[in-house]
């Protein structure tokens, strides 16, 4: 389904927008998306559709200086919004044209400026460009994510300096003019088209990336790129392949139509799930989960918590099972906590159950939970609190955070809340999407299960540690880790059902499995809480 959507958006030069909207914390492993690299092609084509308007502007005024000044103004505006929103909206900055237009605009400015620079200065620019490139290869940005914002501007600066340099001087420019680099450069576009589908296909076949397999893929990419360039790309550039423009346009339109029909057909038939011999039931990915949750629940109360809650592709992540009134049973925690909602909603149908979700560990000191705790502590009707978070992801828990968690549990008890600490579920090194794919082909990936060592390590983190914290603070603890494990083996799959939607979040089927354990374990409630 994701492939069909990415294919049709690529045809219509908008895959960057599609990947922007579907790439986030919950997105499928990028290696499973063979057309992910087309985002940059769509971005370039969008620029090339707009740039002719600027050229027409130049012809109208017939002044080179006006065009240059206009390009500089647009470039400065684009790089300003790049820096302004880099931290706040990183996905938009990465994928969308307004935040990246300055990069091709710099190329256009160089094209206009090139003849205005003298030779001696060009040699200096060549050497400076080489220094910047070496600096980037050392990659100091890995030491500080705060400096990552400068990686793109520095890369563009290095490329610009080389383009502006004298082609007859400088070690770097002479190296780039060698026959090897000329051959690589001519076929680089075709190699780019090949590289990510090859990576994606190899990832489907074998998730373990070794040096030898990476080297093979690297070589295969350039071989296929060279062959494609020689027999197809080069003929297009030289107008020897489909030289007639009308025939070329008709062929391109027919090819795009066929691919569009193919993509729509896949979407209409829900990806043809029966094409596999053994079909695995259960949804993976995030959209289907949030659609189901939103379709069977209501916005959480009070409204101020709902309005300030996290959001995924338009779905507010704060829901409850009844249309009116505040929930009496609260699932409190991060994204792993909201995974419990569908199952508990099925088992406690007469109760108003809600989930309040925020990033990180749910403590009074965590500012993300401030409004939530103010509501819970001052509402006597919210009497059962199921507290959980991604234990494995936050291990080891620092002493300060442990103290804060203990303080939070004690404050909840003082407010006459019945608190239940819920342990964690197994975390896997593979996406649920890939486990469905492997199992459906009859080749179950071993990474869809935890080995004995991984089991014992995660049992300590997801069971022993939270049980100890619960006991220290005299609250109840429920182990849901064991609900997904049999004889010290844990799996994403249960018979022909997938229980996860990604590597660590349960889907609705998995939620039902662990919720049965929660309901049985809350032994202080002989009947469904009212």
Give the per-residue pLDDT at 526.
Answer: 42
CB 285 within 8 A of CB 433: yes
CB 24 within 8 A of CB 11: no
Digit-coded pLDDT (tens) for 204-261: 766 556 778 888 888 999 999 999 988 888 877 776 666 677 777 888 889 889 988 9
Give the per-residue pLDDT at 384.
Answer: 93
**H helix or E strand, kind and range, residue 471:** helix 465-472
CB 424 within 8 A of CB 391: yes
pLDDT above 70 covers a percentage of the chain that reads: 82
Residue 48's Cβ-side half-sphere holds a number of Cα atoms within 13 Å equal to 7
Give the per-residue pLDDT at 521.
Answer: 87
Calpha distance 75→57 (Å, rounded): 16
CB 303 within 8 A of CB 328: no
Digit-coded pLDDT (tens) for 56-83: 766 665 555 677 788 888 999 999 999 9
Q: How many Cβ atoms are within 10 Å of 29's Cβ, its own excluded? A: 16
Most confident listed range (86-100, 202-216, 272-286, 428-442): 86-100
Residue 182's Cβ-side half-sphere holds a number of Cα atoms within 13 Å equal to 5
Give the per-residue pLDDT at 411.
Answer: 94
Digit-coded pLDDT (tens) for 129-173: 666 665 655 554 444 445 678 878 888 887 777 777 666 656 666
Calpha distance 368→61 (Å, rounded): 54
CB 160 within 8 A of CB 102: no
Taking the alpha carbons of 64, 70, 71, 72 in that order, is the dihedral positive or negative?
positive
Pairing mode of beta strands 329-333, 353-357 = parallel
Give the per-residue pLDDT at 111.
Answer: 81
In the chain, the N- to C-terminal Cα span, in Å, equals 42
Distances in Å between the Cα of 124 and the Cα atoms of 24, 70, 170, 410 are: 42, 27, 8, 67
Angle at 280 between CA 451 and CA 346, to 5 degrees: 90
122 pLDDT exceeds 70? no
441 pLDDT exceeds 80? no
Digit-coded pLDDT (tens) for 346-375: 999 989 999 999 999 999 999 999 999 999
**H helix or E strand, kind and range, residue 485:** strand 485-486
CB 305 within 8 A of CB 354: no
Give the per-residue pLDDT at 328.
Answer: 93
Give the per-residue pLDDT at 113.
Answer: 76
Distances in Å between the Cα of 368 and the Cα atoms of 365, 371, 378, 398 are: 9, 8, 18, 18
**H helix or E strand, kind and range, residue 24:** none
Q: In DSSP terms, which residues pair with 478 in a beta bridge? A: 422
Give the per-residue pLDDT at 126.
Answer: 58
pLDDT above 90 covers a percentage of the chain that reads: 44
Average pLDDT over residues 189-194: 91
Give the per-residue pLDDT at 206.
Answer: 60
Collapsed DSSP state (helix, strand, coil) of residue 219? helix
Give the per-residue pLDDT at 67.
Answer: 72
380 pLDDT exceeds 90? no
Distances in Å between the Cα of 122 and the Cα atoms of 127, 166, 168 are: 9, 5, 10
- Please, which pLDDT band fits residue 306 given cuts at 50, 70 and 90? very high
Calpha distance 295→287 (Å, rounded): 12
Give the per-residue pLDDT at 201.
Answer: 82
Distances in Å between the Cα of 476 and the Cα atoms of 198, 216, 434, 468, 522 are: 50, 54, 36, 11, 8
Instruction: Decide which of 130 and 300 is more confident.
Output: 300
436 pLDDT exceeds 60? yes
Angle at 374 between CA 372 and CA 380, to 5 degrees: 100
Give the per-residue pLDDT at 383.
Answer: 84
Cis, bond preceding 326 (omega within 30 deg of 0) = no
Give the per-residue pLDDT at 293.
Answer: 94
- Please, which pLDDT band fits residue 414 given cuts at 50, 70 and 90? very high
- With residues binned 3-state (H G I as helix, E B as strand, rest as coil), the percentages for the chain, rounded to 5, are 60, 10, 30
CB 105 within 8 A of CB 30: no
- Please, which pLDDT band fits residue 124 given cuts at 50, 70 and 90? low
Phi, psi of 124 (to 5 degrees): -60, -40
Residues 6+ apart with CB under 8 A from 28: 2, 284, 285, 431, 433, 502
Calpha distance 487→92 (Å, rounded): 45
- How would you classify residue 433: left for phi > 0, otherwise alpha for psi between -120 and 50, otherwise beta? alpha
CB 340 within 8 A of CB 422: yes
Digit-coded pLDDT (tens) for 485-529: 988 889 998 878 899 999 999 999 999 999 999 998 886 654 444
Average pLDDT, rounded, for the chain: 83
Cis, bond preceding 302 (omega within 30 deg of 0) = yes
Give the per-residue pLDDT at 64.
Answer: 57
Q: How many Cβ atoms are within 10 Å of 166's Cβ, its own excluded? A: 17
Q: How many Cβ atoms are within 10 Å of 64's Cβ, its own excluded? A: 10
- Please, which pLDDT band fits residue 200 given cuts at 50, 70 and 90? confident
Average pLDDT over residues 447-459: 89
């Amino acid at each position: 389904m994701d492939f069909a959507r990415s294919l049709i958006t690529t045809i219509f030069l908008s895959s960057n927008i599609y990947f922007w909207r579907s790439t986030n914390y919950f997105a499928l492993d990028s290696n499973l998306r063979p057309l992910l690299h087309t985002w940059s092609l769509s971005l370039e084509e969008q620029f090339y559709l707009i740039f002719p308007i600027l050229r027409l502007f130049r012809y109208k005024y017939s002044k080179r200086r006006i065009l240059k000044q206009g390009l500089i103004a647009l470039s400065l505006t684009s790089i300003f919004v790049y820096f302004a929103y880099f931290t706040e909206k990183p996905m938009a900055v990465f994928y969308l044209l307004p935040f990246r237009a300055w990069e091709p605009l710099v190329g256009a400015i160089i094209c206009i400026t090139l003849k205005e620079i003298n030779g001696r200065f060009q040699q200096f620019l060549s050497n400076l460009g080489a220094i910047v490139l070496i600096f980037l290869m050392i990659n100091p940005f890995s030491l500080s994510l705060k400096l990552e914002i400068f990686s793109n501007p520095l890369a563009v600066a290095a490329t610009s300096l080389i383009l502006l340099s004298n082609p007859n001087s400088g070690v770097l420019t002479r190296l780039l003019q060698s026959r090897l680099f000329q051959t690589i450069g001519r076929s680089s576009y075709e190699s780019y088209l090949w590289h990510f589908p090859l990576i994606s296909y190899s990832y489907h076949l074998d998730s373990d990336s070794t040096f030898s397999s990476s080297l093979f893929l690297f070589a295969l990419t350039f071989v296929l790129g060279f062959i494609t360039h020689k027999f197809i790309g080069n003929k297009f550039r030289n107008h020897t392949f489909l030289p007639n423009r009308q025939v070329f346009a008709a062929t391109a339109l027919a090819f795009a139509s066929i691919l569009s029909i193919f993509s729509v057909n896949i979407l209409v038939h829900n990806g043809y799930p029966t094409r596999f011999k053994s079909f695995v039931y259960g949804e993976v990915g995030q959209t289907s989960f949030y659609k189901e949750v939103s379709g069977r629940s209501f916005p959480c109360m009070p409204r101020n918590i709902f309005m300030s809650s996290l959001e995924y592709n338009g779905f507010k992540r704060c829901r409850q099972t009844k249309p009116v009134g505040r929930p009496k049973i609260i699932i409190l925690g991060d994204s792993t906590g909201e995974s419990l909602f569908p199952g508990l909603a099925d088992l406690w149908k007469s109760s108003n159950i809600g989930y309040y979700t925020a990033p990180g560990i749910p403590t009074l000191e965590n500012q993300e939970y401030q409004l939530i705790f103010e509501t819970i502590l001052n509402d006597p009707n919210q009497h059962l609190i199921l507290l959980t978070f991604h234990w494995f992801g936050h291990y080891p828990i620092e002493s300060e955070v442990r103290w804060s968690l203990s303080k939070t549990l004690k404050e909840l008890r003082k407010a006459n809340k019945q608190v239940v600490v819920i342990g964690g579920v197994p975390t896997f090194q593979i996406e649920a999407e890939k486990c469905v794919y492997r199992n459906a082909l009859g080749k179950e990936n071993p990474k869809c299960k935890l080995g004995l060592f991984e089991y014992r390590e995660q049992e300590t983190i997801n069971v022993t540690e939270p049980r100890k914290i619960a006991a220290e603070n005299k609250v109840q603890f429920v182990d849901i880790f064991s609900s997904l494990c049999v004889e010290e083996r844990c799996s994403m799959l249960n018979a022909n059902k997938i229980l996860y939607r990604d590597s660590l979040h349960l889907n609705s089927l998995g939620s039902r499995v662990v919720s049965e354990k929660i309901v049985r374990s809350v032994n202080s409630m002989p009947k469904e809480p009212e």
